[in-house]
Each structure stands twice: as structure tokens, then as C-alpha cells.
Chains A and B, each alone.
Chain A
């Protein structure tokens, strides 16, 4: 019985996902979301989702897709809310693509900021830490 419990808890893994695909550009953005949902449904945990390269556009609060299409940023926000996920957007990749939080907007004297609630701008250190504590890291590339 003890062995059984040990084996069962070992089977619950910690994942980190790296999303490099821009929303609405490549199917990979959708694959990443489906994978995240599926691993959470199976009782695994998702330590962090790291949005990198063109994937940073997922963190835009201004995305306004037609009503009959999935709202990709909102889907991640909802999933993050339901499962207390850490959604990190690479700060260097984001700022050069015009995805800014209030802080960065001030730093570069821009007229506004557009990082969606539930997302956070941070650096590659967050990715390194996530890889170190996770059992599995998957990259969804475009």
C-alpha cells in the first residue's frame, strides 16, 4: 500500500511550457493551450507558462478577435484563474514588440500600456528557475 501511494504521487508531474508562437499566426499557440488544459485535467501541475519570442503577443489586453473565434489571451487568463497559474511574458521580447506593463510604459515614456491582467513581465531567470523545478519542460514553437 505504501509503495502504491508513493508510486501514485510520483506520477503527478510538474510541467513548464514555453510558448513561442504568436496567437492567430500558428496552430502551435492552440496546441500549447490544449496541452496545458489536458495536463491540469489529469492532475499534474503547471509551474509556469513562459511566453517567449512572438508568443509575447498572447499577453496583450488589446487583442479583439471576432466573436466566433477563440479569444486566446482570455483563455489563458481563465485557465490561470482556475488553476492559479504563473503566466510570465519575457520582458525583453515583449518590450521590443510593444507589449508593455505600466512600469515599462513609464520607463520608455509611452502613451499607454497593454499587458493583460494575470500576465507578468519578467526575465529569463524565471524560465531557468521553472526548468530547474519542473519534471518536464515543453516548447511550443512556430
Chain B
């Protein structure tokens, strides 16, 4: 099980696609920085092919900084910096997509 962090906005298609293709069963995905925009309803299709066992998280301070905290889909669990650290501990390794 790995934690994948993604810090690119959906406009960076190649990075986002490479990240999503790399997700395996029971991995976790955390959207950070401009990556948080992918949690908006307009980008729902990006995640359609993911295994159900992949858990989805989004970094709350980065949502807040962009004024979109109330707008993201509720399949994404918002976490704070402490939650990010906890998630890194819970998974075996961390893969950063940027």
C-alpha cells in the first residue's frame, strides 16, 4: 500500500494521468497544492476507472487557500497537515507526483 501525492492541477494532463494509472488496490491518493482542483465535481470523470479500494484525500489548508473547501466532492476526505503525516505513516511508502 502506498500513499500517492499529486500537486498538479488537472490541466497538467500527463502528470495527472500518470499518477492515476499508477494507483493500485488499497493505495491512497492525497491531492495537495494545485492538485486539489481535481476534487471539484467537473473533474469527476478522471477518477471513474479507479479501484474502489483506493481511498481519496484532499489537503484542507490548500482547499481553503483556493476558496473551494465547500465545493469539492464528498468522496474526498479533507485532512490537515497532521493528517498528511498520519497518512504517510499508515501507508508503506510515499510516491510524489509533480
Nearest B residue to A40 via CB reads: B85
Contacts of B89 in A (CB 8 A): 11, 13, 44, 135-136
The range of chain A's interface size is: 20 to 34
Q: Which residues of A contact B (CB under 8 A)?
A: 11, 13, 15, 20, 27-28, 31, 34-35, 37-39, 41-42, 44, 135-142
Name the distance in Å between A44's Cβ and chain B's nearest Cβ.
Answer: 7
* Interface residue SS majority, chain A: mixed
Q: A141 and B85 in contact (CB under 8 A), knowing A31-B7, A31-B32?
A: no
Selected contact of B33 from candidates A31, A44, A135, A137, CB within 8 Å: A31
The range of chain B's interface size is: 10 to 19
Q: A27-B62, A38-B85, A139-B96 are in contact. List 19 more A-B contacts (CB 8 A).
A: A13-B89, A20-B98, A27-B7, A27-B33, A28-B98, A31-B7, A31-B32, A31-B33, A35-B85, A37-B81, A38-B82, A44-B85, A44-B89, A136-B88, A136-B94, A137-B94, A138-B96, A139-B94, A140-B96
